[in-house]
Structure formats: structure tokens, C-alpha cells
Amino acid sequence: MRFAFILKIATLILLRSWRATAVLSFMVITAVAALVFLSALAVGTNDAMIRNSTGLFSGHISGSGISASDAGKLQVTGVEQVLLRHHRPVILSTSSSLEPATLLGVDPLQEQKATAFWKKTVQGRYPAAGSQEIYLSQDSAKRLKLQVGDRVTLRTHQSVALKQLTVSGIYKTGISHLDQGLAFCPTTALPPGAQELSVALFLAAEAPIDEVVSTLRRRLPTASVTPWMEFMPDLKQLIDLDYICMAIVITLVFAIVSVGISCTFLIFTLKNLREHGIMKAMGFMAGDTALLLVSQISLLTVFAATVGTLLGVLIVTVFAQIGIDIGAFTSHNQYFSVSGMLYPRLTGLALFTPPLVAVVFGLAAAIWPIVTIIRKNPADILRSV
């Protein structure tokens, strides 16, 4: 028998038994739409963690061992912002206390444009460009008993006084390596002496970080160029874990949905048992019956998965615009140190995995009804129904 005719019968069965079709479709549509949204939400959560972790201070790529003359080589395709930071080890001293620290000379305007560090100010403000000001962590300020407006003396490790700076602001990030042993001032306020240069590179959205890193490593063979995945392996693992959890959720949801589809489809098929018996009596072979049932469930799942995907895309589009604020649950989480807003984002994987899995599981769900019908003797069917 022609495949086109079997396909036609399958379509007509679905259309003319529209109530059963609608029930089965609703199950798949709901599952696919929910999973497209959940997949996009997982991507959005990972985006937020990366954005928060890299956007606070470090950038997507950090570099060290770079001379100021090589700074121009850092401008490669995909790099949106380059921040130069001059490191100068000093002793911060007041009349009563001493505190060793690495003083970072930064360009305040560029820093405030590219990072969210200034948002972590708990008192005062970020140092102004060209000023003789210093920005201290809350822990350091407490140990040194300093307030905004107080002056702090910078000394060498040999206790030689270099210069005095005024405390412009106090910050607290909640991230220990930023809250301990660091202080910031405009580059122009750095005391003279041996300095090291580090760079923080911020990439444009969707920029291929691996390509940028390899280009930089080619251009600056003696420098150390490190992407965030290497200097924040914990975040990388967290993101991988998130994807694994999402894959498990998708598989489990569809395993459950496919059992539901299989049971419902079996009931649907058994409701038409007499008709299957008549078709077998007319000379339908096992392959014809299997093809008919596979066509039915394929058409149904492809249709429902398409509608479910479109519905999922619609929901993602809405939430991508308005965002989801989970700030109340992330205030003490270092991966959400800047903002608790999530913006679901669709990727190829998030978009196509749920419908693809739906179709595959749908086909698996057809096995039980197919085996049931094929194994039944047409005479028994016609006698019993």
C-alpha cells in the first residue's frame, strides 16, 4: 500500500477523532512549552551567573604579564572593553593601625562603565577620576578605623611613607578575595615605584570567548591570558551542573509524558480495535499497521511539539523582556552579587531539544499500541468487539 495513503488515513483518524487528538496534543504541547521555557531559563540563569561574576570586576578574560605598550594588541574582534589595572603593593597606615594591601590604580570612568563594582559601595562613593582618593573594603576600613573623608597614609614595606590619600568610599562585595587585601585609587594617584599591570577584558554578547583567548595568546605569547572558565572553575562546574540537571529534567519529564502518551494512545487505539481488526481482515500486514500507528503518533507529536515550541518561544519572549527577579533568594550568593534578575534566553539547544525529545519519546510511546494490535488475531478482535 502507498505510504501516502497510510499517511492520509492517519491524518483523517486524527482529524476526525479530534477530541482524543486534542487531549493527546495538549499533554505534549504543555510539556514542550514548559521545557522550552525551562531550558531558556537555565540558559538565562547561567547567563546571569556569568554576567554577575564577570561583570562585577574580573571581566570575561583576565591578563597579566602584559606591558603597557602591548595594550593595543588587546583590542581584538569580540572585545568590547579593556580595563588596565596597575598593581602596587603597599601598607595602608593610620595613627593606630597598619594593613598590607594591593593598591589597584584604575581608570574610574572606564571601571564604572564596564563593571558593577561601584554598586557595592556601602558608604561614600567610587574615587573620582584624577583625584587623590582611595576606595577601601569595609573590612579594611574597620581594621584601620577609617571613615569616608579620613586620610590614610601609603607606606612601602620598609615603612617609608609614600603619600596620603582621602577615603572616598567603602565597599563590600561579599566575595572574600575582593573584600580582603585590595584597595582602589585612580591610576594618577598611585605612588611611584614598581607596579604590575593586569587587564580585564569584557566581551560583547555572544562573542566566542575561545577564539578571543587563542587570538590573544597568539598575539601575546609571553602574557598570561585566562578566560573566566579557568579563573572561576567553580562557576564553570556550576553551569555544567545546571545543564546536566536540565537534561535530566527534560528526560524525566518526557519519560513520564511518554508513558502518559503511550497509555492514552493505547486506549485511543483499543477504542478503534474493531476497525483495526477489519483492516487486518482486509489484508493489512503487520508493517502497514505499524506504519499507520507510527504515522498517527508522529503527526500528532510533530504538530503538538511545533505548537508547544511556539508557545514556549512566546513565553520566553515575554519573560526575556520583563525578566524574573530572584533577588530575594540570591542576596548572599556570590554568583548573583550584582543583580538577581534572570532573562530567559533561547539557544539552539534550548529551542530544539524539547520538541526533538518529544517526537523521539512519542515514537517510543507508539511501540506498546503497535505490539498490542499486531499480536492480536483479527478473528479474536472481531469476535470480541
Partner 1 sequence: MITISSLSKQYVSGRGHVSALSDISFSVAHGRGVILAGKSGSGKTTLLNCIGTLETPDSGSIICNGVDICGLNARQRALFRRREVSFVFQSGNLLPWLTVAENLQLPLELNAITGADQRHRIEELLETFGLAGYEKAMPAELSGGESQRIAFARAIAHTPSILLADEPTASLDSENGRQLIELMFSLCHTKGMCLFIATHDQELLGMAETVIALKDGKLLPAAPAPTG
Interface residues with partner 1 (CB under 8 A) are: 1-2, 5, 9, 12-13, 15-17, 274-275, 278-286, 377-379, 382-383
Nearer to partner 1, 72 or 283 (CB): 283
CA 378 and chain centroid, separation: 55
What's the grid cell of residue 226? 585566562
CB 296 to partner 1: min, Å: 11
Nearer to partner 1, 1 or 109 (CB): 1
Nearer to partner 1, 6 or 220 (CB): 6
Nearer to partner 1, 240 or 275 (CB): 275
Please report where in the chains the cell 612601602 appears, as a residue.
Answer: 156
CB 365 to partner 1: min, Å: 21
**Measured distance CA(68)–CA(266) in Å, rounded:** 72
What's the grid cell of residue 151? 586620610
Nearer to partner 1, 11 or 147 (CB): 11
DSSP state of 335: G
CB 271 to partner 1: min, Å: 11
Nearer to partner 1, 42 or 294 (CB): 294
Nearer to partner 1, 194 or 282 (CB): 282
CB 380 to partner 1: min, Å: 9
The SS3 of residue 344 is: coil
Nearer to partner 1, 1 or 204 (CB): 1
Identify each DSSP E strand in 204-346 by its residue range. 224-227, 324-325, 341-342
CB 19 to partner 1: min, Å: 12
The answer to whether residues 213 and 225 touch, using CB atoms and an 8 Å cutoff, is yes
Smallest Cα–Cα separation from 202: which of 64, 345, 57, 71? 57
* Those residues with Cβ within 8 angstroms of residue 352's Cβ, 6 or more apart along the chain or in another chain: none
The SS3 of residue 121 is: strand
CB 27 to partner 1: min, Å: 21
CB 18 to partner 1: min, Å: 10
**Measured distance CA(105)–CA(144) in Å, rounded:** 20
H helix or E strand, kind and range, residue 332 = none
CB 284 to partner 1: min, Å: 7
**Measured distance CA(180)–CA(79) in Å, rounded:** 29
Phi, psi values for residue 377, rounded to 5°: -75, 130
What's the grid cell of residue 212? 578571543
Smallest Cα–Cα separation from 200: which of 231, 234, 175? 231
